[in-house]
A and B are shown apart, each in its own frame.
Chain A
Amino acid sequence: MTQAESTALARDPALKRIARFLGDNPMIPLIVLLLLLVGVLEFMRPGIVNERWIANTVKFAIPLAMLAACQTMTMLTGGIDLSAAVAATITGFVMATQVPIVGVPWAIVIGLIPAILIGLVNGFGVAFCRVHPLIMTLGTGLIGTGCLQVYQRFVLSTGSVVPDSLAWLGTGRTWGWPNSLLLFVPFAALLIWGQKRTGFGRLLYALGSNETASRISGVRAWQVYLALYALSGLVAGITGLLYVGLIRAPSLSLVNPLMLPSVAAAVIGGTSIFGGRGGYSGTILGALILTVLGTLLTLLQMPEGARRILFGAIILVVTTIYVRLTDQR
């Protein structure tokens, strides 16, 4: 949008009203965009949009949306969690390799521990050493990847097993609905409720909006950061468990392809990377939009390079327009 156009937008009362309406109801343009993409898909391949396709889309959008929860929560405070995909991968891989040794329940517990640990280290660095979250989580992500490679050498002989229960949760369907909704619906409900209606959720917005004001109001930021990044690690770990159930082939780069899409889902969903604005409902729509967009680009049968270029460009355009439409400043 050019300077002149944006000034016109600010001047025209009708457009201003629309902008304000969208600013107060930021979900609407996202829903419109999602339906639009589905419409284009149906237009290109009539009949493709059926029950099975929807279930499949949802199944693949859920791990993305869960990993994007880590980004949403940390971005609300003005942070980010670039170690989330690594934490998820570690949990998935460690769990699968521990199953033959200690059994499923203990394997899940052992798998989640390093994810939470990564989160705690992130929280410690952000809260006490005042390292920028971008650098902090990038660093712990690299360290985590390295540790996983070392760990792999010790478990080469044991092999890995993906428990049936996780495979059922990750890929199974009941009455046409993906079983992963059993995990995701309560998860999303808890997050959407918690972000506005718990003290912790409010503090995420408060810290991202103005850390000084929060401090003056008596908020001890370190407590929030420590808890937040540990929680983000835990959520990433759970995502890893679900994802390994979906893919059923644990590897050292299991969840890594979801890393940047998880950031994109949160940003498309209207969460500001500068903190203080946004929420998880938008992120869920963002994850769905990205998943549908992925299908669409696959159907176009373009070479991989062109698909990536288009994917990146669409994300940029959508985000720019969306921020313009809903931003009041």
Chain B
Amino acid sequence: MTGQEAATSLLLDARGVSKRFGAVVALRDASLTLRKGEIVALMGANGAGKSTFVKILTGALQRDGGTIRIRGQESSARSPAGARAAGLVPVYQEPSLIPDLDVADNLRLGGTPVDPFRHWVAELGIKDLRLDAMIGQLPLATLRILDLARALASKPDVLLLDEMTAALPTDLVERVLKTVRAEADNGRSVIYISHRFSEISELCDRASILRDGATVGDLPIEDRVEDKVVELMLGASLGSGEAPAAQARPVPEGPPSLRVRSLAAGRKLTDVSFDLHRGEVLGVVALEGQGQDELFDVLAGLDRPESGEIEVNGSRALFRHPADAIAAGHVLVPGDRAHGLLMERSVRENIALPLVARARKWGAIRMKDEARRVSGAIERLQIDTRAQGEVQRLSGGNQQKVTIARWVAKGVETLLLFDPTRGIDVRTKRQIYLLVRELAGQGASVLYYTSELGEVAMACDRAVVIFNGRSVDTIEAADASEENLLRAAYGLTETADVPA
């Protein structure tokens, strides 16, 4: 009887939830319990299965196995609307408001009552909001508040907040935290997803930790809980990590080939500084959305900085277009292969693309010269070209090699690799580490963002850590254990080790 009672006193009770995508197991055994009035932090490193779990909880994805009970009733939510009806309302990082409609129309669409909405908007610290303001013209911070106010106005039993305080100024953060706490005291339950330990320890009652698709711990928030959380997120890999393949080499002498100071761009990148020398592989360590995307975009000429300095070989550089960046030797391997490849075209055309990009190369192609360069790059990367008619017929690993081979054929000075090993097999990963080291050995500079912390010790000389848009730490490869990196990535080790 007691078990039954415990089960029904739980507002939300998800157990053993699993989900596969084809051959990939995204979730094996995820669990989450939530009592009335409780705030629980859902935590996990990149790729732990957090977003899949959230999507299942909110009805955006269907689970393959496990049970989800809401107030003791088996949840049958087959859609986000179903989950809403059951009382679970999410507030995502990207506001779900329609930009081309005004505030009032957006409320009408979701059936949100206007008066409670106004109350919450004022409560959360936004004064003088006009209901006829177009959503598209409001700043992101305001939109996130509106999204939260809309969720609160629907009186949810369970509120799911995904990085709620990202993109908010400090005063609004405080208002939000205060309001969420007060609502929890009034009996609402909250699932809180955040990368910021300070907020979690201030706000949450418990933390539930995911690793490799399974829930590995459920801890009450108390002093020094950060260490335990980091330990759980890393699991067995802690301590037993592979010995660094890369010998940490001393910082090369002489001026840096790339010097970045106080770089800011977009909403997320606020203040990043680092030096990159010839022959060096500098890792970039950051949790998702800390400004690393913007950093790479600026360095590759895809985006312009708002402030700060970029110096290439001692002279200031402003890239208006990737062509400018390429002329300065900066070449990008983008995180999403679909952004880098001509899927319907051949391996050869893909690799030779930068060779014909400039207007003065529009004339006849020297086919022999091109064939020599392309086959050289194919050989060097060991690309399996049996299906070379169209790049889309290649495996993911071979596709990634093509995006790198392109720059090997063209010749690189500064290689910007954005998570180059995401979703590819172990053998290809190792080939890529080796290639990166080899290119550095030949005098290239490499900036290497990776979402897999273990790679830093294998591929990089040192790593700059970015948290909340700022470079907060520099870690030598020798010290780049996953634990150190993760603690730094969560902003737990802010030091003054950053060049000023």
Residues on A close to B: CB < 8 A? 23-24, 197-200, 202-203, 205-206, 209-210, 212-220, 223, 227, 276-277, 328-329
Contacts and interface: CB of A to CB of B under 8 A. Distances in A.
How many residues of B sit at the interface, in one of the four size bands?
35 or more
Given A209-B344, A213-B342, A219 B302 contact: no
A217 B353 contact: yes
Given A199-B363, A214-B342, A215-B322, 9 more contacts: A213-B339, A213-B353, A215-B302, A216-B339, A217-B322, A218-B357, A218-B358, A220-B321, A277-B344
A137 to B, nearest CB: 23
Contact of B342 (A24, A198, A200, A210): A210
Contacts of B415: none
A155 to B, nearest CB: 38
B105 interface: no
Nearest to B364: A198
B450 to A, nearest CB: 19
B349 interface: yes
A205 B363 contact: no
14 contacts: A198-B362, A198-B364, A203-B357, A205-B342, A209-B342, A209-B344, A209-B345, A212-B339, A217-B322, A217-B326, A219-B323, A227-B362, A276-B344, A328-B390
Contacts of A219: 323, 353, 357
A209 B359 contact: no
Contacts of B426: none
A227 B322 CA distance: 20
A323 to B, nearest CB: 13
B36 interface: no
A220 B359 contact: yes
A223 B362 CA distance: 11
B344 A203 contact: no
B354 interface: yes
Contact of A200 (B322, B345, B362): B362
B95 interface: no
Contacts of A329: 392
B352 A202 contact: yes
Contacts of A212: 339-340
B349 A206 contact: yes
A6 B321 CA distance: 44
A41 to B, nearest CB: 35
B362 A216 contact: no
Contacts of B358: 218
B341 interface: yes
B320 to A, nearest CB: 10
Contact of A217 (B354, B363, B367, B390): B354
Given A215-B302, A220-B323, A276-B345, A24 B389 contact: yes
Nearest to B406: A217
Contacts of B343: 209-210, 276
A328 B393 contact: yes
A216 B352 contact: no
Given A202-B356, A277-B344, A216 B302 contact: yes
Contact of B365 (A199, A215, A223): A199
Among A202, A214, A218, max chain B CB count under 10 A is at A218
A198 B365 contact: yes
A210 B359 CA distance: 18
B365 A197 contact: yes
6 closest cross-chain pairs (CB), A and B = A199-B356, A209-B342, A218-B357, A200-B362, A218-B323, A218-B326
Contacts of A276: 342-345
Interface in B308-346: 321-323, 326-327, 332, 334, 338-345
A205 B406 contact: no
B121 interface: no
A213 B367 CA distance: 22
Contacts of B392: 328-329
A263 to B, nearest CB: 20
B88 to A, nearest CB: 36
B180 interface: no
B364 A210 contact: no
A216 B300 CA distance: 8
A210 B356 contact: no
A202 B359 contact: no
A276 B353 CA distance: 13
Contacts of A216: 300, 302, 322, 332, 334, 339-340
A203 B349 CA distance: 10
Nearest to B332: A216
A219 B352 CA distance: 12
A23 B393 CA distance: 13
B393 to A, nearest CB: 7
Given A197-B367, A209-B343, A203 B323 contact: no
B224 interface: no
A205 B322 contact: no
B85 to A, nearest CB: 33
A213 B340 contact: yes
A301 to B, nearest CB: 43
Among A24, A203, A277, max chain B CB count under 10 A is at A203
Nearest to A24: B389
A214 B353 contact: yes
B337 to A, nearest CB: 9
Contacts of B340: 212-213, 216
B386 interface: no
B127 interface: no
